[in-house]
Structure 1
Amino acid sequence: MAKTVAMLVLIMVAAMSGASADDCKPEQLAVCLPAIISGSAPTDACCSNLRAQQGCFCQYAKDPNYARYIGSPNARKALTTCGINIPNC
């Protein structure tokens, strides 16, 4: 639970600080937190948002606020389950 709250806070701080490019909106990945944190199956909404943010994955992977989530085994599992190629950054 604490990890989920921490991730949501990081997403909101990044969104408000303008840390992401105009089309990179990490807050849209909040719907994927259960899949990324616990390894549960990603929802359709999660897969849709992952597809929409696919071009931003390398940017997120380089950001210390998101790197551990984007590069996690559960995130890779979510990408694979959603049929999205794992980026090679």
Structure 2
Amino acid sequence: MKGKWILVSCMLVLLVAVRVETTEAVTCKPIELSSCASAITSSTPPSNLCCSKIKEQKPCLCNYLKNPSLKKFVNTPNARRVAGTCGTPFPRC
């Protein structure tokens, strides 16, 4: 019985290790959100590309909000609306 638990534990460790290796780091590039420009500056709905880029760049949004040059674009009601429409809650930083 003890050997069975050791085997199960080893399998779980291997699964976690494989999952960690396949996770890619996000490269924070504000230009990646350019596909959202028309949705943010008007009332048009965001495109699928825009939504996928917002989801991809979500870990970067707090850094963008700390940057005075980017904050004025990222921290707007329309930007929040677009993020919400895409199903990506706006982060609390």
TM-score greater than 0.5 by the shorter chain: yes
The one-letter amino acid paired with 2:64 is: Y
Is contact 1:57–1:87 with CA below 8 Å preserved after alignment?
A: yes
Where do 4+ consecutive residues of structure 1 move more than 4 Å? Answer: none
The yes-or-no answer on 1:79 pairing with 2:78 is no
TM-score of the pair, normalised by structure 2: 0.70
Verify the 8 A CA contact 1:76 1:86 in the aligned structure 2.
yes
Report the counterpart of residue 45 of structure 2 in structure 1: 41
AA in 1 matched with 2:90: I
**Whose helix fraction is larger, Structure 1's or Structure 2's?**
2
The residue aligned with 1:25 is 29
* Structure 2 unaligned spans of 5+: 1-25
SS of residue in 2 equivalent to 1:77: helix
Q: TM-score normalized by structure 1?
A: 0.73
**Where does structure 1 lack aligned partners over 5 or more consecutive residues?**
1-21
1:38 Cα deviation from its structure 2 partner:
1.3
Asked which structure has the greater CA Rg, the reply is: 2
Aligned-pair distance for 1:39? 2.9
2:71 is matched with: 67
**C-alpha RMSD of matched pairs (Å):** 1.1
Q: Do 1:39 and 1:77's aligned partners in 2 also have CA atoms closer than 8 Å?
A: no
